[in-house]
Structure 1
Amino acid sequence: MRTIYLAALAASTMLSPAGSAWAQSAATGATQINEGDIVVTARRRDETLSTVPAAITALAADDLVQRGVRTDSDLQAVAPGLTIRQTQGNNSLTYSIRGQTADTFSGSPSAVIAYLNEVPLTINGASSFYDLENVQVLKGPQGTLFGRNATGGAVLYNSAKPTDTLEGLVRGRIGNYDLREVEGMLNVPLVEDKVLLRGAFDLVRRDGYIRNLLNGERLGDIRRDGGRLTLTVRPTEAISNTTMVQYTKSGGTNTGASYTYSVYGCGDTNNGFALTCGAGLLFGPGLDSVAGPGAWAAYLAAHPEAYAPGLIAYVDEQRRIGPYRTRHPGGASHRGRDWFVTNTTEFELGGDATVRNIFGYSHSRTRSEQPQLGAPFVTILTANEPAGEYGNQLRVKSFSEELQLVGEAMDGRLDYIFGYYMQRQRSDTIWPQTYFDVRPVMQPNSVTNAFRLRNKTDALYGQLSYELAPDLKLTGGLRYTWERVSIAQRPEATYTYGAPDQKKTFSDPSWDVGLEYKVTDAWFAYLKTRGSFRSGGFNGAAPPVNATATDGGNLFDSEHTQDIEGGVKFSGLAFGRPASFATAVFVQWIQDVQRVEFPDPDGPGGLASIAVTANVPSSRIWGFEAQGNVRPVDWLELGGSAAYTKAKFTDGAISLFGNPYAYGPVGDTPKFSGTAYAQVSLPVGEDMGDLSLRGEVYGQTAQYFSNASASIAPGTRLPGYALLHARLDWSEIAGSGFSAALFAKNLTDEAYFVGGMTLAAALGHNAAAVGEPRTYGLELSYRF
């Protein structure tokens, strides 16, 4: 069956070039051909998707509903080259684009920055998508125009703005795993065209899909409530002010990395590297060689839930019980609260110039107990029992301010934007850990890392686009950024509290140079090169010494990148039928790549470990992406997307605390991924509404969840998979405001993996995060 899916995917991709020829109108749900091209803001101004010189996937509001994009994880299936990686499960998400990402337990800034209304988001867990105007995925280095530097890309979420129309929407969903969801929107013009108010909410409840056989608990429970108010005030025709306030409360349980994937035995090697074997040694018959004869029998007598053959043998037992059963011995609770505020003020100066101010504030708190292995042994828990601390805790406060001057000059031949960006962010982290609980034979090692990171960012930028000749433009942008990073050890820290605070400033330029050419009304081409960087910083769990991990400290340096990208876009008629096409080819070079490792300062086989961000010397990534659609007949729409990404560490050799490490292959980057879909309009009569059936398949090849699988972390390759989704939609039933839909995801109930937690260097085991099984349900909505 998988072979059939992948063959269909490849065929559809070749037959139907991918793009966004048909943008869904958020107000009416009507399909618009070409003229309805989605408006995007990739260059901080409104432009049509088909004429922006960049690789972008954009989805309008109704597209999100039709394609079942309900959370961050769903974006992977609709944006070629984007991977939503789960390290510790459904509430530990990381964006990865073109091989650029940020690892868990890292002090590194994200390589892919998410924004809501042009303000950087702090993502502590999965979020719900409701009442959005659009979502845009920008690929490649960013930094010339956007708030934070990013070496991989940016994901832009834009909430729906108030309009001058009284309207509302209520939508409900029920489904398997006891899914219950209600979302709604009400738009009220308080003063016509002057004061506009919009409110929206989303309430979700769903049971988990992984059963913990030790206590009957379900992992993956969702309990999420969100609400948003947006107010637009236009005192004059030249001034507009929009304020959005959003609150989200989340609960439930984490799926975690609950599938025991691989464990190493003492004496195991991989390409000449000795493998860490602490967990496999202590949790098995080998305990007798450490603690004396009878030690393993004493442990089993005190822990009747343990697996008698030991942890190494449990890998086969996990395969036997399957991906949706686990024996995690600890908790899995998740709690979070998030406040987010944005304010955008625009003042038209006249003469095609506008001053824009963007303010943002966020306050996020989470506490999560993360399953990091599904076996019935406490090799590691997110808890420090003697200190009474349970769950990883993170509190982030941030505010930002951005002032822009945007406009045109020289009779419209010159577009310009100049700006200043400032952000102040404080992160308080508490990581309680318990290692190797082999009581009564040996006492566990309990430790808490607790620290405060501050980041003060300031940047000046400008970008010009000049029309050299009709339909030919040259663009150049430059930005200089200063990031001052500091770390302070908190009182909860077991060993490091009292160490002096540390500070360091990182500063560098970012740049963008490109040519774009409107070849015809239908064809558009561009060629560009960019450079950007990720700030360095401090590892909160490493010794507070002003040196990198190579020299036994907690510092890591900035990451730098450069790329070349060329693309072609088409939006028009192909053989007399509407079609669109967008493709991009790229090559990217990265130096001092920021990657996390969990080294043992005492070398392989020791019982101590820490998380450090290291700078891997260099990597290179190249590939292509394509997306689009075509309508061969009025009642049928075909579309697809595809991405090929070839990522490699060109120099992956480093030393951490005196021990050699080698990196490769690049993790979290499938070589091939893509989507193919067909949507059929079914005849029901002119007065009965619109009935359509959509089928979609997403597939990807294998990927690694470690960046060191060829050396110290073998057994971290996840197989490829294909998922089939479907939706039957009946909108505006009998001319009313009622609509109904049946939806299903992963129709064939494929078991697959979406990431993992590699503790190979630290403990000698690795665990995988499993994807959702088959889900289905009924959706009812009423729009007025």
Structure 2
Amino acid sequence: MSRSGRMRGRDRAVLLATIATIVPAASAAAAGQDAATAPVGADAPAPAGLEDIIVTARRRAEASQTVPVAVTSFSQQSLDNRHITAAQDLQGQVPSLLIGAAGQTRSTETFTLRGQGTTFLSSPGVVTYFAEAALVPGTFVSTQGPPGMLLDLSNIQVLRGPQGTLFGRNTTGGAILLEPARPTERAGGYLQGQIGNYRDREIEGVVNLPLVEDKLLVRAAGRFVDRRGYTKDVVTGRDYDNRHYYTGRLGITFRPAEGIENYLVAYGTRSSDNGTGYVLAQFNVPLLASRFATRGGCVGVGLGPNCSVLTALATAQQGRDERHVADLRNSYSKVRGWGVHDTLSIDLSDTLTLRNIASYGKLRANIGFDADGSPINIYAVRAPAGLPLDATWQWTEELQLQGNALADKLTYVVGGYADRSKADGPQGQLSNSTLLETTTLRDFDRKSYAVYAQGGFDFGALTPSLDGLKLTAGIRRTWDRSSGFGIAYRTTATGGVACANGVSSNPQTPADCALNASARAAATTWTAGIDYSGVRNLLLYAKASRGYKNGGINYSAVNIERDRFEPEYVKTYEAGFKSDLRLGTVPARLNLTAFKTKYRNIQRAGGDFNPRTFASGAIVLNAGSATINGIELEGQVAPARWFSLSGNYSYLDAGYDEFLFPVLQPTLDCSGRQVSGTANFKCMPFQFAPKHQFSLTGNLTLPLAGDAGELGLVVTYAHIDQQFTLATALEADEPGSMLEGYDLVNATLTWRDVMGAPVDASLFATNLFDKTYRTSNTNSYRTLGVQSTLYGEPRMYGVRLRYRWGS
């Protein structure tokens, strides 16, 4: 039914021919040069042609090549050149990073780093920060912050590995730092318009105003996006997977006195679209027929002999392509979010700075999805009338003291952190499974408190012969608390209430079905490392770190014995180098990291089915341990000032050391048999951990004659290996759970300073060869009786025009 996600030979030939044309031309500029490799200046600026971005990976402004942390960063210029406007556009651009829907909707973009990410209903393993404060996370909807957060950034930083001794929240996989562009001293801005296929219409603008010189600076930005969907309903004519949102931001920098600066940024987004276009693959007719047995079988529920109606629906879908579906009845998405983040910095002396980082925000999602991809309610979820599917408010507070001593040979940070996220009023979902509707309501309250300290010491303070040899050590203590309840019930034929979770056998009201629970945890996390930068433009480093992710409450459980889950822990050992070199006179960069992660008490999400009530839910359980080994490589070469070639590669070897998981129905495990009680899944592929992932980007810049401007062409080729998407069943038990590998090519052609005017014009195309590839699988064949899937975006192309003024 689908075309292969891998690149066809003809397409590969086109791409390779393009590169073959560019590379020799670029290399010609370096012909006759000495090919010997020689290091270049130690703490000198990056060689011409190589971008050195200032990052805050250690809560200080540092050049990325001098930081002993596995970090990938993009400036706003780089984001523009690659036409990266949403989180999904980062797919394939960063080693070990995956971005996907995690089996939910397209509104739930989740990050996975080194095989660790978001487990449904638990805290994220990769936390997204905006202006140094964590964005509001969803609870039922696995997302962080609303759409549009990539508007007007200074840079994006992707930190790989456990974080926590310097960052607000504990994480096991890493952190995504979104640094907004701050107000500057000179007035300026731009207005940008974009049109493209699928009737794409976008408007974006930025205004920067220094209201009081060096005292009060303001920057405002906004974006409106409206694009039709690429999945069409052949019955209703409705288009799914469209985009429609507007977002705005206001940043204010205030410097009331020398050494005092306050940066306040507020953002808000409102999104409303037609939801997600799930594509039906097949029904598990034998399973569904057995579920319907107590209701007169398939005939009794109106699905015909042997559930012939379901068979006919699946056959009809197989006759259509991946961009056309039939009669999805519950699909819609409305997301609203806003937040205020404030950073206050006070220089207490030349060597001591006090910083306070605070935030408050809300996220509200009213989403419905027809995950079976058909008009029959086998797997459908929507919000109850008048209630959101997900609504959360959150505040964060962090106070830190940064200092240095011994002529900057000693640096340190000491701080405290607290956050609280709570249900913003009543919320829940109506879940249709096997033609039975269950109402689930929930409330939650999560609190976290921590103290931390980290320091770095350059042994050059002891003797000049050890200059550049540094020790870094940090420690954190965290206390987490969670409480809440989940109510799962059905309305009976007589108007009464029946508890779907078995809490009460004779409930009088839905409140009698409340499953109340609370959880507490505390953990110590740490990092220790050594690095050496005594050789010019070469950094060697090795470190070990311990990460922790808190446990929580299973609000959507339909079995009372599964009301909570425990924390998970990782220990990561890594070593690597960062280098800027010259191949003769050609500047080059090569960064490499190798790591081993020991992962225990792993949180894994799975379906929860109650065979007594036929209710379905979702839970998180702790199961087993794993080892993840990996290598990450990033490189760049600039044979000429007008051409550079960059790339990245990651290798992951992830496997379970132990994985025993409780099951409520016969399940295939690694013994090759259907088992009940406890299943052994040690042989199962690791979730969201493609073995190979790489990308290659060519950047060509050609000045035009006179003052006509310059042309820039950026082409990126990215490959992602096959990946397993299921957490609690084998591939043989769940069709479609292994996503095929795929290749994508994106290109952007930009004419800057058109005919000497402050105007930039761009042509762009994503998925240039229009590959059809799967991005998610519902993984509900063995539990709910249906398999459906999500497909990536088709080829998108368009024209972008930007007018600039001021600086």
Normalising by the smaller structure, the TM-score range is 0.7 to 0.9
- Cα offset, 1:727, TM superposition: 1.0
**Match of 2:719, as an amino acid?**
G
SS at 2:608 equivalent: coil
Q: Does residue 419 of structure 1 match 2:415?
A: yes
1:318-467 alignment, distance < 5 Å: 318-383=317-382, 389=385, 393-428=389-424, 430-436=427-433, 444-467=435-458
For 2:31, the equivalent position in structure 1 comes to none
> One-letter code of the match for 2:415?
G
Q: 1:507 to 1:72 in 2, by over 3 A?
A: same
Structure 1: gaps (5+ residues): 22-30, 267-276, 302-306, 438-443, 546-551
Looking at structure 2, the residues matched to 635 and 492 of structure 1 have their Cα atoms a distance apart, in angstroms, of: 65
- Equivalent in 259, 263, 266 of residue 242 of structure 1: 263
Asked if 2 retains the 8 angstrom alpha-carbon contact of 1:668 and 1:755, the reply is no
Paired letter, 1:381: A
Give the drift of 1:543.
Answer: 5.1
Give TM-score scaled by structure 1 length.
0.88
The answer to whether 1:766 aligns with 2:787 is yes
Residues 558 and 616, structure 2, Cα contact 8 Å, conserved in 1: no
SS for the counterpart of 1:77 is: coil
Equivalent pair of 2:254/2:263 in contact (CA under 8 Å): yes
Q: Conserved in 2, the CA contact under 8 Å of 1:597 and 1:761?
A: no
In 1, the alpha carbon distance for the partners of 2:7 and 2:596 equals: 30
Summarize the alignment of residues 142-157 of structure 1 with structure 2, pairs less than 5 Å apart: 142-157=163-178
1:642 pairs with 2:646: no
Is it true that 1:676 corresponds to 2:696 in the alignment? Answer: yes
- Please identify, of 678-687 and 81-90, the stretch whose mean Cα deviation from structure 2 is larger: 678-687
Alignment partner, residue 272 of structure 1? none
5+ residue gaps, structure 2:
1-5, 28-38, 40-45, 137-143, 460-465, 491-496, 500-509, 665-675
Aligned to 2:118: 102
**Other structure's SS at 1:370 match:** strand
1:252-283 CA-partner distances (Å, limit 9, x unpaired): 12225x022454353xxxxxxxxxx23x767x
Asked if structure 1 preserves the Cα contact closer than 8 Å seen for 2:362 and 2:393, the reply is yes
Q: For the Cα contact (< 8 Å) 1:382–1:431, is it kept in 2?
A: no
CA drift at 1:717: 1.2
What letter matches 1:488 in structure 2? Answer: F
For 1:202 and 1:77, locate their aligned partners in 2 and report how far apart those are by CA, in whole Å. Answer: 25
Which residue of 575, 578, 583 maps to 2:592?
Answer: 583
The residue that corresponds to 2:568 in the other structure is 559
| Identity level (%) | 30
Moved more, 192-201 or 624-633: 624-633
Q: What do residues 458-483 of structure 1 show as CA deviations (whole Å, max 9, x unaligned)?
A: 00000011112211101000000001
Instruction: Quote the offset at 1:238 in angstroms.
Output: 0.8
3-state DSSP of counterpart to 2:88: helix
Distance in structure 2 (CA, Å) of the matches to 1:138 and 1:251: 31
Aligned twin of 2:34? none
Change beyond 3 A, Cα 1:409–1:322: same
Q: 1:155 Cα shift?
A: 0.3
Q: Which residue of 1 aligns with 2:60?
A: 45
The residue type equivalent to 1:119 in the other structure is A
CA deviation map 1:79-115 (0-9, x unaligned): 12111111223202211111112233x2x10010000
What displacement does 1:412 show? Answer: 1.3
Give the match for residue 533 of structure 1.
548
> 3-state SS of the aligned residue for 2:77?
helix
User: 2:148 maps to which residue?
Assistant: 127
Change (3 A) 1:354 1:484: same
CA distance in 2, matches of 1:38, 1:626: 18
2:98 aligns with 83
Give 1:72 deviation, angstroms.
Answer: 1.0
When residues 294 and 163 of structure 1 are mapped into structure 2, their CA distance, relative to the original with a 3 A threshold, is: closer
* TM-score, length of structure 2 as denominator length: 0.85
SS at match of 2:601: strand
Tell me the SS of whatever aligns to 1:734.
Answer: helix
Paired residues of 2:731 and 2:737 also in contact (CA < 8 A): no
- The answer as to whether partners of 2:488 and 2:558 remain within 8 angstroms in 1 is no
Match of 2:241 among 190, 195, 220: 220
Q: What is the RMSD computed on CA atoms of the aligned residues?
A: 2.8
Query: Relative to 1, partners in 2 of residues 1:292 and 1:334: Cα closer, same or farther, differing over 3 Å?
Result: closer
Summarize deviations over 1:193-235 as a string: whole Å, max 9, x none. Answer: 0110111101111111101123111001211111111111101
Matched to 1:497, the amino acid is A
| Aligned residue among 3, 7, 10 for 1:2 | 7
1:687 corresponds, among 707, 717, 720, to: 707
The one-letter code of the counterpart of 1:340 is G
Q: Contact 2:49/2:644 (CA < 8 Å) preserved in 1?
A: no
Q: 1:354 to 1:589 in 2, by over 3 A?
A: same
Q: Give the secondary structure class of the aligned counterpart of 2:784.
A: coil
Q: Rate the CA distance shift 1:589–1:763 in 2: closer, same or farther, 3 A.
A: same
Change (3 A) 1:126 1:682: same
Question: In the alignment, which residue of structure 1 is the partner of 2:35?
Answer: none
Q: 2:722 aligns with which of 694, 702, 718?
A: 702
Q: Is the contact between residue 486 and residue 556 of structure 2 (CA under 8 Å) also seen in structure 1?
A: no
Please give the secondary structure, in 2, of the residue aligned with 1:50.
Answer: helix
Match of 1:594 among 599, 603, 606: 603
Farther-moved stretch of structure 1 (644-653 vs 313-322): 313-322
Distance 2:323 2:753 in 1: 39
Residue type at the aligned position of 1:507:
A
Distance in 2 (CA, whole Å) between partners of 1:124 and 1:349 is 34
SS of the residue corresponding to residue 748 of structure 1 reads coil
| 1:512/1:713 CA distance change after superposition, 3 Å | same
- Show the counterpart of 2:493: none
The structure 1 residue matched to 2:485, chosen from 488, 491, 500, is: 488
Please give the secondary structure, in 1, of the residue aligned with 2:112: strand
Is the 2:427–2:443 Cα contact (8 Å) retained in structure 1?
no
Identify the residue that residue 441 of structure 1 maps to in structure 2: none
Using a 3 Å threshold, how does the CA distance of structure 1 residues 329 and 33 change in structure 2: closer, same or farther?
same
Letter of the structure 2 residue corresponding to residue 539 of structure 1? N
Shift of the 705–431 alpha-carbon distance from structure 1 to 2, 3 Å rule, reads: farther
The 3 A distance-change label for structure 1 pair 374 and 355 is same
| Aligned equivalent of 2:538 | 523
CA–CA distance in 2 between the matches of 1:262 and 1:706? 17
- On the 8 A contact 1:733/1:739 being kept in 2, the answer is yes
Query: Cα distance, 1:715 vs. partner?
Result: 3.3
